[in-house]
Chains A and B, each alone.
Chain A
């Protein structure tokens, strides 16, 4: 009796991941089209509008790049943790707490001159994100507690913390009955560098380039990769795993927190519970699609930014913006399928041979 099995190729197909991503995109658009037509929505109009309103003009390209920025930083945060085989599922919470810390900075020093306040708030965001990741990092380093669950749980705590601040201690007295936090100081905004693209896009790009260089060229990055791929080798080489684990989690949290600060000073004007809007979770998908490589993270983030901005635009023709979430998840699942095919080939074998 014969059956089909997946046999691993000796060497993965070259250029496999970009192809897998494209295959995932096609898969997502096809399944999405089926879904839209079942719901009776005009498929071509929906896709056309999504494309035009995310990549079709300078104005909307600006919105896409701005949207891609927190996604790219969240993806970078996830990929930094992944170099040591760690999962930071808590970028969502770290973004929120980073933005909370930045907001705190703005509340304490509302009258500082713009550039100084901006730098202070962004630094605050980095520290805030790192602090939010410190607990899971310590627990993992000292006790081996799974960082997957601890970082995940702290997401929900951070979102509720923002809601609490919004309803109580930080409630804007001039916000009437609608609970909202006071807007951040005006002068702490990130200016535009091209069309409506804010400076944060450039800063985020620089951060990604620095990390790409750092992780591939520096001793620290080298040690991280050894520690991640073979803890035993690292131990022989005298690399302290505990300090590395904690350090990587702090760095990962700091980058995610930075995304929160950039979002607060870039696109948003005030902190609220929707500031992160799933960037942390989407960042995990972005990082996975980029195979945890910083350069790939930036590219996938722009694609996801376009899908999200396009998704918002179809509400006005009466189609749910949830289409964007569906497409993003389907891109991942499609790419997983295609990725497996690029590393494996389907073989027909005798049942006996395998069993």
Chain B
């Protein structure tokens, strides 16, 4: 009996640790997409940018032996590939849905192409836990929440910074104006194109960083084809789930991270449900949240940026 309880305690600790790792992964990409969408650009290329970050971040980490180098390389390459969407959707006014999906196909293809020599390569760098004085010694909390990798703290810091920039600075005002009404932003002297390109690149960097975290962490995955496994789509979903607000997106990321962590751990809790069925929940919850938002929107404004997905051509103002 006592044995059973200690076992489940370990299982719960393992679950929370994994949920935070997955949550970090999802949050980085979702935070990036939040910035992009706040500026009025829908980028459905997250899955592709994440794959690019995963493979380049893996190579950077394994070659240098430093997971931080992996994270940096992934972020830079994610930002570079996102510029394809910037060029098509902002520069040429192409449809954002088509351009974003093509970016996903391009990113997944390029990642597989670059990574074909590295599949199953055992060399890899990975982040360890941060040893925090006092905090790590607190029972339970120390073993779970404060057992996170430094990237989780980085993600929280980036989330706070994003919130601050978006809501408290003139740059943030410009970003939000570009997303709500591009012509107003233009009239107020902001360069809508520059803001949108910057927001896309920021989204690409964070998606790339998220991918690099995936291949440089303890989740047990080095690079292999399909390593992103649809998590980029969860990041797109999270932006809606979190109503385009960095704080709420973070809560959603932990919740969705928990479902990802649960998938492979149901056996530890004697839960007789297929992990595959559990893996559907983030997508289904997002659909439900969207319906609820729209149902409420009959009485209150929708939280979505009003100009989301609309191309802006100055001469057609």
Contacts and interface: CB of A to CB of B under 8 A. Distances in A.
A167 interface: yes
Contacts of B97: 87, 89, 148, 284
Interface residues of B, number: 47
A154 B237 CA distance: 11
A5 to B, nearest CB: 7
B181 interface: no
A325 interface: yes
Contacts of B95: 288
Contact of A160 (B84, B113, B276, B309): B276
A87 B316 CA distance: 24
B290 A326 contact: no
Given A154-B283, A322-B112, A354 B290 contact: no
B226 to A, nearest CB: 10
Interface string B271-293: 00010110110011011001100
B276 A163 contact: yes
B249 to A, nearest CB: 15
Contacts of A330: 106
B110 A161 contact: no
Given A87-B97, A150-B287, A326 B109 contact: yes
Contacts of B280: 156-157, 160-161
B101 to A, nearest CB: 5
| Overall SS of chain B's interface | helix
Given A150-B287, A325-B106, A320 B276 contact: no
A78 B297 CA distance: 28
Interface in B227-260: 230, 233, 236-237, 240
A83 to B, nearest CB: 15
Given A35-B113, A143-B295, A157-B284, A340 B93 contact: yes
Contacts of B284: 153, 157
A278 B277 contact: no
Interface size bracket, A side: 35 or more
Interface string A89-125: 1000000000000000000000000000000000000
A135 B230 contact: no
Interface string B75-111: 0000000001000100011110111011111101111
Contacts of B287: 135, 139, 149-150, 153-154
A219 interface: no
A320 B294 contact: no
Interface string B135-163: 00000000000000000000000000000
Contact of B98 (A284, A325, A354): A284
Nearest to A41: B113
B104 A281 contact: yes
B315 interface: yes
Interface string A1-15: 000010110000000
Given A153-B284, A157-B284, A284-B101, A325 B233 contact: no
A285 B113 contact: no
Given A146-B290, A154-B283, A329 B102 contact: yes
A16 interface: no
Interface centre among B111, B297, B315 (most CB of A within 10 A): B315
Interface stretch (A59-67, A194-202, A331-339): A331-339
Nearest to B94: A336
Contacts of A326: 106, 109-110, 113
B116 interface: yes
Contacts of B99: 333, 336
Interface string A258-299: 000000000000000000001001101100100000000000
Contacts of B98: 284-285, 288, 332, 336
B59 interface: no
A330 B286 CA distance: 31
A146 B306 CA distance: 13
Candidate in B88, B98, B116 with the most chain A CB atoms within 10 angstroms: B98
A177 B314 CA distance: 61
Contact of A323 (B113, B233, B236, B290): B113
B112 A164 contact: no
A333 B116 contact: no
Contacts of B286: 149, 153
A324 interface: yes
A144 interface: yes
Max count, chain B CB within 10 A of own CB: residue among A149, A153, A157: A153
Contacts of B113: 35, 39, 320, 322-323, 326
A328 interface: yes
B63 to A, nearest CB: 17
A207 interface: no
A333 B287 CA distance: 30
Interface of B: 42, 44, 84, 88, 92-95, 97-99, 101-106, 108-113, 116, 230, 233, 236-237, 240, 274, 276-277, 279-280, 283-284, 286-287, 290-291, 294-295, 297, 309, 314-316
12 contacts: A156-B233, A278-B105, A281-B101, A281-B105, A284-B97, A285-B98, A322-B111, A324-B109, A325-B108, A333-B84, A333-B88, A333-B102
What 5 A-B pairs have minimum CB-CB distances, sorted nearest first?
A: A325-B109, A329-B106, A322-B112, A326-B109, A320-B116
Interface of A: 5, 7-8, 35, 39, 87, 89, 135, 139, 143-146, 148-150, 152-157, 159-161, 163-164, 167-168, 278, 281-282, 284-285, 288, 320, 322-326, 328-330, 332-333, 336-337, 340, 354
Given A89-B44, A155-B233, 15 more contacts: A89-B101, A153-B233, A156-B233, A157-B284, A160-B277, A164-B276, A168-B274, A281-B105, A322-B110, A322-B113, A322-B116, A329-B103, A333-B99, A340-B92, A340-B93
